[in-house]
Structure 1
């Protein structure tokens, strides 16, 4: 049985920050639904290791090493992918970072890193890829927001600010680019077991609190984000634009 609305065969997807965690899971998931994936990271060794793991699963992923916070490197990499491999049909802006400390003690240097990694990269990569998509009058862009786009917790106020910006930027991208045939949406994960959250996963007190706080009663597993990404990348979402899809076990709708 085939499901053509969700078929990504023949489409190329660039997933930033896909050497591990959510990005890796999304790259693998899109490939399993037919897409040809390009994985990205700043760390060449980690990215190559990710490609090797994908190959062991029968996925022949391409690699593009560039820093998403460097607009010149981004533009050059996008040009290289399009010239050497073909059009980028799907972009997942996944690269991101976290830093936890009380707001009154938050270092200025970490604030700048958060802004560059979590917001500026969406502008740099999104713009570079969208220019190509606009010329073709089609394409899908997915920005990775967070449950922190709508909620807040102590010690991560700057991160919360960046993810709120991702949600609003997604609306802005859709408003500007929908008329050119582009679909721009966001996925807002709740609490998932990832390297970014390793300290929290290993904190028994926090995990116990989270399980009580989340209606689903547990952490999310990264593979549970694949369905949302496939949907938003596919023809099934042909009239979905500017939407932020929360995948959070119900935490954002429950007190």
Structure 2
């Protein structure tokens, strides 16, 4: 596990974007696993800037997204389909036919979870999976629970997650209560994991994920079992992590 400590969100975004850009340059046909939410927005903004400068080419890249709200149509501004097009897909030369997300409008939970899991497997192994970390330690929408979910599944969101996401909606009543998410097993199949974490409100979750026992009560703790994890986090997010962990290479 490699941990990079940055001064703030902007530096975190640049460092993480640099890691992704290196992946694309070294392997133009990379398959990237992508995340949504506030944490990766700066990463995508930086990648777009480098594309506009002519430094990056997305034409052969394939992407698979971690998750999608159940019940939100693609046109909804809070759907993750809309998010990805707004922040990345519509701003670079990626072939949209090579971008994949769960179908939030398929209300048959079992069928959609099975379909998306099979799709991701059929595309091959994700070269680099971008992840955020929830305040309760979730990765993707894998919430704290009694087991690590192996495959793509439908998640009933915890109240803490709904509360954290309500800022994106007109009211808390508008926040979807369920979502489709890659499972922990799906995520861990990726060759590399890149985790971006920012803000003091994530500090306890990050400490528990890095330093604590591996438990499904802290889904992010499973990162300790992957052999190629890079965490890029700002000073606030790393404020509770002992210094000796920051020297890991």
TM-score range, shorter chain: 0.3 to 0.5
Q: TM-score, normalised by structure 2?
A: 0.42
Whose RCO is larger (CA < 8 A, sep 6+)?
2
